[in-house]
A = this chain, B = another copy of it.
Amino acid sequence: MIAFEKFIVDDKSPIYMQIIRYVERGIIAGNIKNQDEMPSRRVLASLLGVNPNTVQKAYHMLEQDEIIESRSGAKSCVVIDADKIKKIHDKLLKNDANSIITAMKQMGISKTEAIELIEKLWE
């Protein structure tokens, strides 16, 4: 079973999107692999402290993106290949890096300061 922890740091976007991103990031990190079983709606919902329906929405969209497969009565299952992983990788990295860089620029922070800040807070 996939380990879900260190979750929900971004309280701005809808929860179901955060779940989607979390799964996508886990795939990139290699923690979530092809044929892995996803935790059930209820399990993940109680783990994250949200409603099962919210998890269901995330799973449903992951299914539409052909990242997982759901069957009634059975666990949801990860279905990915190298090609999909690469696409997810590119999408996430582009989004994440760009948004932080734009934020930093808007705050008038230089590249050097940004890097220092990240080094300091990485811990």
Determine whether the beta carbon of B99 is less than 8 Å from that of A100.
yes
Residues of chain B within 8 A (CB-CB) of A102 are 6, 9-10
Counting chain A residues whose Cβ lies within 8 A of the other chain, the interface size class is 35 or more
Q: Among B28, B31, B97, B106, which residue has its beta carbon within 8 angstroms of that of A26?
A: B106
- Please measure, in the bound complex, the distance between the C-alpha atom of A99 and the C-alpha atom of B18, giving whole angstroms: 12
Residues of chain B within 8 A (CB-CB) of A96 are 100, 103-104, 107
A119 vs chain B, min Cβ distance (A): 7
Instruction: Kindly specify which of A42-50, A56-64, A108-116 makes contact with the partner chain.
Output: A108-116
- Please measure, in the bound complex, the distance between the C-alpha atom of A47 and the C-alpha atom of B101, giving whole angstroms: 22
Pick 8 A–B contacts, CB within 8 A, sort by A.
A6-B105, A6-B106, A9-B106, A28-B108, A31-B108, A92-B103, A96-B103, A97-B117
